[in-house]
Amino acid sequence: SITRRSYHEKVLDHYSKPRNVGSMLKTDADVGTGLVGAPACGDVMKLQIRVDPNNNTISDVKFKTFGCGSAIASSSYLTELVRGMTLEQAGSIKNTEIAQELCLPPVKLHCSMLAEDAIKSAISNYYSKNPHAKPTNLAGT
């Protein structure tokens, strides 16, 4: 029996029924907003997270992607993946994990990179609004 769905099915499923499309109030203190673009094609992705300050986990997530089907599918899949994760877990997701799950071809790798960039950007926006939440052992920005 077929236990693994094919590349087209997974991409098309997320593309035709994207999960968690929408937006949150950017000014809410517990919301982090990431807005990134892909230089290769000009596609744009907005991804927002709501963080539970008690345990630094993502309680809600929304996205809007003005881009290709693979970018929409990548962001839709990412929103399902990061819900419930800590910021550190979500921040360490690699685009290759997304590309592998959706079986994106090499030419579509940058579409999944957009999703990785978007969650990283949302997390860093949250940290800039809530500096106390930032782990002290986190290097860089």
Q: Considering beta carbons, is residue 12 or 29 the nearer one to ligand FES?
A: 12
Give all strands (DSSP E) within the chain, no chain letters: 31-37, 44-52, 57-66
Q: Is 66 in the site for ligand FES (CB under 6 A)?
A: no
| 67 contributes a contact to ligand FES by CB under 6 A | yes
Q: Is 110 in the site for ligand FES (CB under 6 A)?
A: yes
Annotated catalytic residue within 85, 111, 113, 119: 111
Query: Of these, 40, 53, 66, 92, which contacts ligand FES (CB under 6 A)?
Result: 40
Cβ neighbourhood burial of 20 (10 Å; 0-12, 13-18, 19+): middle
- 28 vs 5: CA distance, rounded Å: 38
* Alpha-carbon gap, residue 70 to 109, rounded angstroms: 9
Point out which residues bind ligand FES (CB under 6 A).
Answer: 8, 11-12, 38, 40-41, 43, 67-71, 110-111, 114
